[in-house]
Amino acid sequence: MTIQPAKLSDPAVRAFVHAVNAHDREGFMSLLSPGATMADDGSDRDLAEWIDQEIFSSRGHMDVDNESNGGRTLLARYSNDTWGEMRTRWTFTVEEDGRISRFETGQA
């Protein structure tokens, strides 16, 4: 059963999912700490290049199936125009100011 984004526990993660699904690049970027990093399937990637390719230019969308770790780990069906749909795991590091300093994703 899908968890509605508005019901996700962590405010930063909730805003992240909303920005992805709304294709809101400006809103997405405002959620990240300066110097934020990310990894895909265990490899660090260039954040700006990755989000352009995997989220914004390919119309990425997250349907969250499960959350754990206080809402900072998600299991989601992620889809985009490049890869179609896949089961993914997302983990987030959220700083005291409420911004995301790192996220990691990969196939689940």
Question: What pLDDT score does 1 carry?
Answer: 78
CATH of the domain at 36: 3.10.450.50
Which H or E run includes 44? strand 43-45
- pLDDT tens-digit profile of 20-35? 999 999 999 999 999 9
Q: How many domains does the chain have?
A: 1
Mean predicted lDDT score pLDDT of the chain: 97
**For residues 20 and 1, which has the higher predicted lDDT (pLDDT)?**
20
- pLDDT tens-digit profile of 69-92? 999 999 999 999 999 999 999 999
Contacts of residue 9, defined as CB under 8 A and 6 or more positions apart, other chains included, come to 67, 70, 71
pLDDT-derived band of residue 39, with 50, 70 and 90 as boundaries?
A: very high
Q: What is the pTM of this model?
A: 0.96
Domain containing 67: what range?
5-107
